[in-house]
Amino acid sequence: MSSNVSSHIDPIEGDFHLTNYQKTHDNFSWEDAKKLLSYGKTGKLNAAYETIDRHVDEGYGEKIALHYVDENGTKSLTFREVKAETDKYAQILKENGVKKGDRVFVFLPKTAECYIAILSVIKVGAIAGPLFEAFMEDAIKDRINDCTGSLLITDHELVKRVPQADIPSLETILYVEDIAKEDRTGNHGNELVEWVDPEDGLIIHYTSGSTGKPKGVLHAHRSTVHHIVTGKWVLDIHDEDVYWCTSHPGWVTGSVYGLFAPWLNRATIVIQGGRFKAENWYQLMEDLKVTIWYSAPTAFRMLMSQGDLHEKYDLSSLRHVLSVGEPLNPEVITWAHKKLQVRIHDTWWMTETGGHLIVNLPSEKIKPGSMGRAFPGIEVGILNANGEKLPAGEVGQLAVKAPWPGLMKEIWGNEDKFKSYFIYEGWYISGDLAYQDEEGHVFFQGRSDDMINSAGERIGPFEVESKLIEHPAVAEAGVVGKPDEVRGEIVKAFITLRPGFLASDNLKEEIRLFVRKNLSAHAAPREIEIVEDLPKTKISGKILRRQLKALEVEKQAVKS
């Protein structure tokens, strides 16, 4: 198969911080990064120590670590204060019997406590399991049960969605409101830090694929090396930066590039909860003088649809903007360049890869339509069905030479799944399809499986289908991603009804809410179509999602 997409848009040349970037980061390597961390000195490390406590030990305790913004205003904490808070939480975790390697979940909105709770879990050597705040009962139950989480940190509101009786491993629930009331000084040295091996478990993120329930992608403490290096090179963090990543730590972007990478590089981070609102986002950037901003194409498209709204705000502090999670349209890059006077730097990686692999470094030209080039030290390959490298211009499987420091350690309890990423000797297979041009720029062409990407969030069709057929009216279901201008794709469900049920808009809405209420809002189908029957394979009778998807794409083409 040959590519039919070529970038006709002129590249945008590398920008002003070229020299700054070169001076600061030249010759910085994975090995150098280890030396910045205790890893390089003792062979042991602790990601929570490296992320926060190290800065206090190195004399930066009074630097602002975070600004937390909500409707009541802005609250700021220094690195010393964040350390004290994580110490306090860590003490309480220890008193509750948490030991190295235990799985401890954190289910909180995007607040300072969410970040502190995650770090405290890591500090005592346990594995942090952050959960996205919009998850509902089944999503929570499946995840905690899968890796037998023993403790949960949440609040009095979100706990209502935790079906405790169905999670036998869960022994303890701690509430942030109660921890806040406890009066104890968190002024500890390093005695609460559990020094671990680079291969020890750090964080587990559940992510969706095309089959089965979400899988627990386990990362090790060694990922810290990947985080600190890409934080310097790709996020381009310097001491004076105010950094804002819009993702919730329940997603990998929110933990790796919302928490670890910026704090490893001692940035002041911004934490803002709540839903997207263009005015609030621009206002926040003006008020806090955000310099680096990491978000997703859906958000940029939503801002773009607001016309000249940006003109009301002073965004002059913004110097570096990055994007991830879904294809970034050339129009968005051009819009931001013209209207906001910034280049948007696309980045490609996955929950499984644990850090950036394909990037647009600040110093390099951007080719709109391309995700960028392999990060220095990373080898990207476009492979054919035999695992052989294809020449430039040919579309194939996007693969990366393994390993690298951030690569996942395992898929929890599922070795077969883990192995399925490495079917060709030496390569990690992403499941994405892409081609590379002569200069090594990578152009995304789609997924090779049925995984849905809506607003940058991975949604497994199987998970949604399973929930749909639990509804009494639904006989069968096939779920696909339908192309959408703003969200990239939306979740669309084709269903057949059980005898005795009549198709109606009310029924469709009821079914949609059923998924929303039990699974999560982001996975609930935005569109439901009731059909007479679903296309299936002749032999196994499996529903042919591909055919349903092709139909949707065709309909779209006719419309435009």
Q: Which residues in this chain contact ligand WTA in the complex, by CB under 6 A? A: 207, 252-253, 324-327, 346-351, 371, 430-432, 444, 447, 453, 458
Nearer to ligand WTA, 162 or 332 (CB): 332
Nearer to ligand WTA, 49 or 349 (CB): 349
Encoding tokens for residue 414?
Answer: 């599922």
User: Could you tell me the smallest distance in angstroms from the CB atom of residue 7 to ligand WTA?
Assistant: 14
Nearer to ligand WTA, 120 or 224 (CB): 224
Is the CB of residue 381 less than 8 Å from the CB of residue 202? no
CA gap 248, 270 in Å, rounded: 12
CA gap 114, 109 in Å, rounded: 7
User: Could you tell me the smallest distance in angstroms from the CB atom of residue 491 to ligand WTA?
Assistant: 15
Residue 264 CA from chain centroid, whole number:
18
3 Cβ partners below 8 Å, 6+ apart? 393, 394, 395, 435, 443, 445
- b/e sequence 516-529, b meaning 16+ C-beta within 10 Å: bebbbebbbbeebb
User: Could you tell me the smallest distance in angstroms from the CB atom of residue 427 to ligand WTA?
Assistant: 15
Helices (H) and strands (E) in the chain, counts: 19, 25
User: Could you tell me the smallest distance in angstroms from the CB atom of residue 108 to ligand WTA?
Assistant: 20
HEC assignment per residue over 118-155? HHHHHHCCCEEEEECCCECHHHHHHHHHHCCCCEEEEC
Nearer to ligand WTA, 89 or 251 (CB): 251
User: Could you tell me the smallest distance in angstroms from the CB atom of residue 92 to ligand WTA?
Assistant: 31
Nearer to ligand WTA, 221 or 447 (CB): 447
Surface-to-core class of residue 283, CB atoms within 10 Å of its CB (0-12 exposed, 13-18 middle, 19+ buried): middle
Residue pointed to by tokens 């990373």: 378
Nearer to ligand WTA, 295 or 347 (CB): 347
User: Could you tell me the smallest distance in angstroms from the CB atom of residue 189 to ligand WTA?
Assistant: 36
Nearer to ligand WTA, 187 or 420 (CB): 420
Nearer to ligand WTA, 215 or 512 (CB): 215
User: Could you tell me the smallest distance in angstroms from the CB atom of residue 350 to ligand WTA?
Assistant: 4
Nearer to ligand WTA, 83 or 367 (CB): 367
Label the pairing between strands 201-207 and 215-220.
antiparallel
Is the CB of residue 349 less than 8 Å from the CB of residue 226? no
User: Could you tell me the smallest distance in angstroms from the CB atom of residue 341 to ligand WTA?
Assistant: 22
Encoding tokens for residue 411?
Answer: 């898929």
User: Could you tell me the smallest distance in angstroms from the CB atom of residue 465 to ligand WTA?
Assistant: 20
User: Could you tell me the smallest distance in angstroms from the CB atom of residue 271 to ligand WTA?
Assistant: 19
**Nearest Cα to 481, choosing from 542, 527, 412, 445?**
527
Q: Measured between alpha carbons, how far is residue 528 from residues 460, 463, 515 in Å? A: 16, 16, 12
User: Could you tell me the smallest distance in angstroms from the CB atom of residue 208 to ligand WTA?
Assistant: 8
CA gap 499, 488 in Å, rounded: 35
In three-state secondary structure terms, 433 is: strand
CA gap 14, 251 in Å, rounded: 30
CA gap 377, 361 in Å, rounded: 13
Is the CB of residue 344 less than 8 Å from the CB of residue 300? yes
Nearer to ligand WTA, 80 or 441 (CB): 441
Nearer to ligand WTA, 313 or 424 (CB): 424
User: Could you tell me the smallest distance in angstroms from the CB atom of residue 296 to ligand WTA?
Assistant: 9
Residue nearest ligand WTA by beta-carbon distance: 351
CA gap 64, 66 in Å, rounded: 6
Nearer to ligand WTA, 118 or 288 (CB): 118
